[in-house]
Protein backbone atom coordinates (compact mmCIF):
# COMPACT_ATOMS: atom_id res chain seq x y z
CA UNK A 1 0.00 0.00 0.00
CA UNK A 2 1.47 3.32 -0.96
CA UNK A 3 -1.47 5.66 -1.10
CA UNK A 4 -1.35 8.97 0.72
CA UNK A 5 -3.94 11.72 1.08
CA UNK A 6 -3.03 15.29 1.96
CA UNK A 7 -5.12 18.31 2.96
CA UNK A 8 -4.64 21.06 0.36
CA UNK A 9 -2.07 21.15 -2.46
CA UNK A 10 0.61 18.46 -2.64
CA UNK A 11 4.18 19.33 -1.74
CA UNK A 12 5.54 17.99 -4.99
CA UNK A 13 9.26 18.26 -4.21
CA UNK A 14 8.92 16.57 -0.80
CA UNK A 15 6.78 13.71 -2.13
CA UNK A 16 8.81 13.17 -5.32
CA UNK A 17 12.13 13.20 -3.49
CA UNK A 18 10.88 10.90 -0.73
CA UNK A 19 9.43 8.39 -3.18
CA UNK A 20 12.58 8.41 -5.32
CA UNK A 21 14.78 7.90 -2.26
CA UNK A 22 12.54 5.05 -1.07
CA UNK A 23 12.64 3.33 -4.48
CA UNK A 24 16.13 3.95 -5.82
CA UNK A 25 17.87 1.06 -4.05
CA UNK A 26 15.12 -1.51 -4.75
CA UNK A 27 16.67 -2.45 -8.10
CA UNK A 28 13.83 -1.12 -10.26
CA UNK A 29 15.25 0.06 -13.58
CA UNK A 30 12.38 2.41 -14.41
CA UNK A 31 10.59 5.06 -12.36
CA UNK A 32 7.75 6.78 -14.25
CA UNK A 33 6.01 9.64 -12.40
CA UNK A 34 2.87 11.55 -13.38
CA UNK A 35 2.23 14.92 -11.75
CA UNK A 36 -1.10 16.67 -12.32
CA UNK A 37 -1.08 20.49 -12.15
CA UNK A 38 -4.26 22.55 -11.75
CA UNK A 39 -4.73 24.73 -14.84
CA UNK A 40 -6.06 28.27 -14.85
CA UNK A 41 -9.09 27.96 -17.14
CA UNK A 42 -12.75 29.00 -17.27
CA UNK A 43 -12.27 31.59 -14.53
CA UNK A 44 -11.52 29.13 -11.72
CA UNK A 45 -9.16 29.97 -8.86
CA UNK A 46 -8.51 26.29 -8.23
CA UNK A 47 -10.13 22.89 -7.67
CA UNK A 48 -11.49 21.21 -4.58
CA UNK A 49 -11.91 17.51 -3.79
CA UNK A 50 -13.96 15.15 -1.64
CA UNK A 51 -12.72 11.57 -1.23
CA UNK A 52 -14.44 8.43 -0.01
CA UNK A 53 -11.53 6.60 1.53
CA UNK A 54 -12.86 3.04 2.13
CA UNK A 55 -13.56 2.41 -1.57
CA UNK A 56 -10.49 4.37 -2.71
CA UNK A 57 -8.33 2.11 -0.53
CA UNK A 58 -9.82 -1.12 -1.91
CA UNK A 59 -9.59 0.19 -5.50
CA UNK A 60 -5.93 1.05 -4.98
CA UNK A 61 -5.16 -2.31 -3.35
CA UNK A 62 -6.58 -4.09 -6.43
CA UNK A 63 -4.25 -2.08 -8.68
CA UNK A 64 -1.31 -2.75 -6.39
CA UNK A 65 -2.01 -6.49 -6.75
CA UNK A 66 -2.03 -6.16 -10.57
CA UNK A 67 1.24 -4.23 -10.40
CA UNK A 68 2.82 -6.91 -8.24
CA UNK A 69 1.91 -9.57 -10.80
CA UNK A 70 3.99 -7.59 -13.33
CA UNK A 71 6.87 -7.07 -10.90
CA UNK A 72 5.92 -3.40 -10.63
CA UNK A 73 4.93 -1.16 -7.69
CA UNK A 74 2.54 1.79 -7.53
CA UNK A 75 2.66 5.03 -5.57
CA UNK A 76 -0.09 7.62 -5.40
CA UNK A 77 -0.80 10.87 -3.56
CA UNK A 78 -3.97 12.97 -3.80
CA UNK A 79 -5.30 16.17 -2.26
CA UNK A 80 -8.39 16.69 -0.12
CA UNK A 81 -10.05 20.10 -0.02
CA UNK A 82 -8.94 23.18 -1.94
CA UNK A 83 -6.04 23.19 -4.40
CA UNK A 84 -5.15 26.55 -6.06
CA UNK A 85 -4.28 26.97 -9.73
CA UNK A 86 -0.71 26.04 -10.69
CA UNK A 87 -0.26 23.67 -7.76
CA UNK A 88 -0.61 19.88 -7.76
CA UNK A 89 -3.54 17.76 -6.59
CA UNK A 90 -2.37 14.39 -7.89
CA UNK A 91 0.88 12.48 -8.20
CA UNK A 92 1.26 8.85 -9.15
CA UNK A 93 4.28 6.80 -10.09
CA UNK A 94 5.07 3.29 -11.22
CA UNK A 95 8.37 1.53 -10.73
CA UNK A 96 9.29 -1.67 -12.51
CA UNK A 97 12.37 -3.57 -13.60
CA UNK A 98 11.86 -2.49 -17.23
CA UNK A 99 10.62 0.73 -18.81
CA UNK A 100 7.90 -0.76 -21.08
CA UNK A 101 5.87 -2.30 -18.24
CA UNK A 102 5.96 0.93 -16.22
CA UNK A 103 4.99 3.12 -19.19
CA UNK A 104 1.98 0.95 -20.02
CA UNK A 105 1.01 0.63 -16.38
CA UNK A 106 1.03 4.35 -15.62
CA UNK A 107 -1.30 4.95 -18.56
CA UNK A 108 -3.76 2.17 -17.66
CA UNK A 109 -3.66 3.11 -13.98
CA UNK A 110 -4.33 6.82 -14.51
CA UNK A 111 -7.14 6.07 -17.01
CA UNK A 112 -8.90 3.81 -14.50
CA UNK A 113 -8.20 6.30 -11.72
CA UNK A 114 -10.19 8.91 -13.67
CA UNK A 115 -13.09 6.51 -14.25
CA UNK A 116 -13.25 4.58 -10.97
CA UNK A 117 -11.60 6.28 -7.99
CA UNK A 118 -14.29 7.66 -5.63
CA UNK A 119 -13.13 11.27 -5.72
CA UNK A 120 -15.38 14.26 -6.44
CA UNK A 121 -14.05 17.40 -8.08
CA UNK A 122 -15.35 20.94 -7.70
CA UNK A 123 -14.32 24.13 -9.50
CA UNK A 124 -13.55 27.03 -7.18
CA UNK A 125 -15.38 30.02 -8.63
CA UNK A 126 -15.77 33.26 -6.62
CA UNK A 127 -14.88 31.31 -3.49
CA UNK A 128 -17.65 28.73 -4.03
CA UNK A 129 -17.37 25.02 -4.81
CA UNK A 130 -19.17 24.07 -8.04
CA UNK A 131 -19.40 20.33 -8.72
CA UNK A 132 -17.61 19.45 -12.00
CA UNK A 133 -20.56 17.35 -13.11
CA UNK A 134 -19.99 17.46 -16.87
CA UNK A 135 -16.38 16.30 -16.47
CA UNK A 136 -17.28 13.43 -14.13
CA UNK A 137 -17.80 9.76 -14.96
CA UNK A 138 -20.63 7.62 -13.58
CA UNK A 139 -19.42 4.55 -11.67
CA UNK A 140 -20.25 0.94 -12.56
CA UNK A 141 -23.92 0.18 -11.88
CA UNK A 142 -24.98 3.84 -11.81
CA UNK A 143 -28.74 4.42 -11.96
CA UNK A 144 -29.62 1.33 -9.93
CA UNK A 145 -32.11 3.21 -7.72
CA UNK A 146 -33.70 5.41 -10.40
CA UNK B 1 -31.58 -0.16 10.99
CA UNK B 2 -29.34 0.25 7.95
CA UNK B 3 -27.62 3.56 7.32
CA UNK B 4 -27.70 5.42 4.00
CA UNK B 5 -24.96 7.94 3.32
CA UNK B 6 -24.96 10.50 0.50
CA UNK B 7 -21.42 11.09 -0.71
CA UNK B 8 -19.60 14.01 -2.35
CA UNK B 9 -21.82 16.62 -4.02
CA UNK B 10 -25.03 14.98 -2.76
CA UNK B 11 -24.23 16.84 0.45
CA UNK B 12 -27.06 15.44 2.61
CA UNK B 13 -27.17 14.11 6.14
CA UNK B 14 -27.13 10.31 6.47
CA UNK B 15 -30.43 8.61 7.22
CA UNK B 16 -31.40 5.35 8.98
CA UNK B 17 -33.82 3.05 7.17
CA UNK B 18 -35.64 -0.17 8.00
CA UNK B 19 -35.34 -2.17 4.75
CA UNK B 20 -34.74 -5.73 3.57
CA UNK B 21 -33.35 -5.02 0.10
CA UNK B 22 -32.32 -2.18 -2.20
CA UNK B 23 -35.72 -2.48 -3.84
CA UNK B 24 -37.20 -1.19 -0.57
CA UNK B 25 -34.80 1.75 -0.66
CA UNK B 26 -35.84 2.56 -4.22
CA UNK B 27 -39.44 2.72 -2.99
CA UNK B 28 -38.51 5.03 -0.12
CA UNK B 29 -36.82 7.42 -2.56
CA UNK B 30 -39.51 7.36 -5.26
CA UNK B 31 -41.26 10.56 -4.14
CA UNK B 32 -38.08 12.51 -3.46
CA UNK B 33 -38.01 14.89 -6.44
CA UNK B 34 -34.74 16.54 -5.45
CA UNK B 35 -33.00 13.17 -5.34
CA UNK B 36 -34.54 11.78 -8.56
CA UNK B 37 -32.03 13.47 -10.87
CA UNK B 38 -29.13 12.16 -8.77
CA UNK B 39 -30.46 8.60 -8.64
CA UNK B 40 -30.16 8.44 -12.45
CA UNK B 41 -26.39 8.85 -12.20
CA UNK B 42 -25.46 7.51 -8.76
CA UNK B 43 -23.83 4.15 -8.15
CA UNK B 44 -24.63 2.23 -4.96
CA UNK B 45 -22.28 0.49 -2.54
CA UNK B 46 -23.25 -1.83 0.30
CA UNK B 47 -20.62 -2.03 3.02
CA UNK B 48 -18.15 -0.34 0.65
CA UNK B 49 -18.62 -2.73 -2.29
CA UNK B 50 -20.37 -1.51 -5.45
CA UNK B 51 -23.51 -3.50 -6.23
CA UNK B 52 -25.57 -3.91 -9.41
CA UNK B 53 -28.78 -5.65 -8.26
CA UNK B 54 -31.88 -4.27 -6.58
CA UNK B 55 -32.33 -7.71 -5.02
CA UNK B 56 -29.23 -7.14 -2.90
CA UNK B 57 -30.25 -8.12 0.63
CA UNK B 58 -29.77 -5.53 3.36
CA UNK B 59 -29.02 -6.62 6.91
CA UNK B 60 -29.25 -4.77 10.20
CA UNK B 61 -26.32 -2.29 10.54
CA UNK B 62 -25.40 -2.42 6.83
CA UNK B 63 -23.98 0.76 5.33
CA UNK B 64 -25.40 1.86 1.97
CA UNK B 65 -23.55 4.59 0.08
CA UNK B 66 -24.74 6.61 -2.89
CA UNK B 67 -21.82 7.64 -5.12
CA UNK B 68 -22.28 10.37 -7.75
CA UNK B 69 -20.06 10.47 -10.90
CA UNK B 70 -16.35 10.85 -10.08
CA UNK B 71 -13.45 12.88 -11.37
CA UNK B 72 -10.14 12.58 -9.54
CA UNK B 73 -6.85 14.23 -10.38
Residue of B nearest to A122 (CA): B9
> In chain A, which residue's Cα lies nearest the Cα of B24?
A145
Which residues from A are below 8 Å from B2, CB to CB? none
Q: Which pLDDT score is estimated for A63?
A: 97
Look at residue A99 and tell me if it is in a domain. Answer: yes
Nearest Cβ partner of A120 from B9, B36, B49? B9
B38 shares contact with chain A (CB less than 8 Å): no
Reduce the DSSP state of residue A41 to 3 states and report it: coil
A145 found inside a domain: no
Would you state the pLDDT for residue B3?
98
Q: How many helices (H) and strands (E) does chain A have?
A: 3, 7
Residue B37 touches chain A, beta carbons under 8 Å: no
Question: What SS3 state is found at B46?
Answer: strand
Query: Is the residue at A137 inside a domain?
Result: no
Which range of residues forms the domain containing residue A110? 3-126
Residue of A nearest to B49 (CA): A55
- Give the CATH number, domain containing residue A10: 3.90.1170.40
Q: Is A141 part of a structural domain of the chain?
A: no
What's the structural domain count of chain A? 1
Q: Is residue A57 part of a domain?
A: yes
Residue-wise pLDDT tens digits, A6-60: 999 999 999 999 999 999 999 999 999 999 999 999 999 999 999 999 999 999 9
B26, B45, B69 member nearest A137 (Cβ): B69
ipTM: 0.95
Domains located in chain B, CATH noted: 2-67 (3.10.20.30)
In a domain, A86, yes or no: yes
Q: What residues of B are in contact with residue A143 (Cβ under 8 Å)?
A: 39-42
Contacts of B22 (CB under 8 A, 6+ apart): A144, A145, B44, B46, B51, B53, B54, B55, B56, B58, B64
pLDDT, tens only, B14-60: 999 999 999 999 999 999 999 999 999 999 999 999 999 999 999 99
Amino acid sequence: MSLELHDGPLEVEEISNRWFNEMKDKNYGAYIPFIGIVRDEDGISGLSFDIYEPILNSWFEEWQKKAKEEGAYLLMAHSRGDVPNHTSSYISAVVSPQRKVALKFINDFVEDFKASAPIWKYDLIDGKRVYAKTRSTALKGAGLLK
Amino acid sequence: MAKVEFLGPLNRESIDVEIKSLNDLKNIFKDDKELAEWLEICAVAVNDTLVCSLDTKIEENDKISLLPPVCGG
